[in-house]
Each structure stands twice: as structure tokens, then as C-alpha cells.
Chain A
Amino acid sequence: MISYYLLFAAALFSIGAYGVLARRNVLIILMSLELMLNGVNIVFVALSLVPHGVQMAPGGHVFVLMVMAVAAAEVAVGLAIVIALFRTRQTVDINDLQMMSG
């Protein structure tokens, strides 16, 4: 049963990874990262059901809350960076970010 939940999570993770690699708009990339983190969270919740000897306290649930807080902070900082970028460059497209190369 749990394997199916894990498969959904793996699918979510890969779809998110595809979004990060394929899309050029920074906001969509940030959203794809949220997909990946959600996949990770589902894995944590599902795997905290695995019994390991003694009845474990659900450490996985605690980790999920940590990931959620980190994701929120990352989105806040990410959007601040994107806004600063938009102010100077008038674009949020990764393809336009080619000032440095070599």
C-alpha cells in the first residue's frame, strides 16, 4: 500500500525536476521546486509508517514541518531576489540571463 504513495511522490519529484530543467521562467522554476519538495514530504510521511523495531515516534512528521518552514522561507527570499532582478533587468527569463559566460 505504502509503495503506491511513494510512487506518486516519486512522480511528483520527477515532474518538478523536469519543470526546473525545462522551463525558463524563474517563477515557474520556483513552483516546480515546490512540487519537488512536496514529493519529498509525501515520502517522509509515508516512510514514517515503516516500523523499525520499537514503535518509533514519528520523526518523519517533524522533518516534514521543517521542510515546510524552509520551503516558505526559500520562496520568500526567492521572490525578493526575482523582484530585485526584475527591477534591474525587466525580465524573469533565465534565457535572458547571459551577462556572464566563458
Chain B
Amino acid sequence: MLATVAVVVIAVVLIATAVAVVVSDNLVHSVFWLAAMLITTALLYVMLEAPFLAAIQVMLYTGGVITMMLFGVMLTQRDPGSRVPSASEAPGWAAPVALGLGATLLVAIWTTPELAALTPTPSGDAQKIGHMFLDRYLIAFEALSVLLLAGMIGAIVLARKGDA
């Protein structure tokens, strides 16, 4: 019972913060709503019995991504906090497309009845995940390191100052 209440509260906060990110007219506000949304997602992972992912989510997203986002905002706004074009100037087809997408996903989820009966059970502790990374999924893990390297080279090449 307590768990159900917690999930409902988390869900409401999650959706509300997500909407706030998308409709806010102030970039800095958007970033902070995003941070709130990401931390709420971590709570949802806890409810799904995935504490390791929750910890990583907080460290990587709020620690890394939000910081980068704030840098991005500060480096590209002459006047931080200035208004950006609001969502009301959106093309008319954006909302129907997004709604159609959501409806498709909803139908797919709702017509798969065996999902409703499942409840979260403890799974995926750090040790198990680590074993899978270096065993079953070794090659993907290695390819991921190349991805980070490519990302690093790319970011430096594009963002540095100087000629060329």
C-alpha cells in the first residue's frame, strides 16, 4: 500500500517536471526542472528494485549532464535567464504527432496482459551487472569505450578556440 502511494507520487512529480522542462520559457528553469526529473527517475529505479542504476543515474546525470547543460546555457545566452521562443509558437502538427506516438505505445503496453501481474523483484545488483559487462556483453563494452573516445575527440575539435 505504501509502495503504491509512493509510486503514484513519484509518477505525478515525474510527469509534471517533464512537462515543465518542455514548456518553460526560461532556459535555466528548464535545466533545473530537468535535474528534478532525472532525480525522480532515480527514485523510480529504486521502486523498481534497481538501486545500482539509481545511484549511477544521480551521479552521471545530475553530476555530469546537468553541469554540461548549465555550461551550454551560460555559453550560448548573452543574457542568462532571457526568454526563449515559447512552446506556443510550435508548429501545429507537433502535438498530434506526439499524442499519436504516445497512443501507439500505450496500446502496445495495454494489450500485453501479462505485464499487469508483475511486481518489482530485487534484481541487477552491481556485482551481477559488472560480471555481465565483462563477460556476456564484453564486446559492446569495448565498443562503448571507443564511443567515449570519439565523443571526446569530437567535443574538443568543435569547441576549442583558435584557427581552422
Contact = CB atoms under 8 A, between A and B. Distances in A.
Q: Answer yes or no: A and B touching, Cβ < 8 Å.
A: yes
Interface of A: 1-8, 10-19, 21-25, 27-28, 30-32, 34-35, 38, 41-42, 45-46, 48-50, 57-62, 64-66, 68-77, 79-84, 86, 92-93, 95
A68 B57 contact: yes
Interface string B43-68: 01101101011001100110011001
A1 B144 contact: no
B36 interface: no
Contacts of B30: 27-28, 31
A95 B36 CA distance: 29
A61 B98 contact: no
B6 interface: no
B120 A69 contact: no
Contacts, number: 228
Interface in B26-46: 27, 30-31, 34, 37-38, 41, 44-45
Of the listed residues A31, A42, A65, the one surrounded by the most CB atoms of chain B closer than 10 A to its CB is A31
Contact of A31 (B34, B128, B158): B34
A24 B156 CA distance: 26
Contacts of B133: 62, 65
A66 B44 contact: no
B81 interface: no
B158 A84 contact: yes
B147 to A, nearest CB: 6
A93 B129 contact: no
A23 B90 contact: yes
Contact of B87 (A16, A23, A81): A23
Contact of A72 (B65, B99, B110, B116): B65
Contact of A69 (B19, B105, B136, B148): B148
Contact of A25 (B15, B85, B102, B124): B85
What 5 A-B pairs come out closest when comparing CB atoms? A22-B90, A14-B102, A73-B151, A18-B98, A58-B124
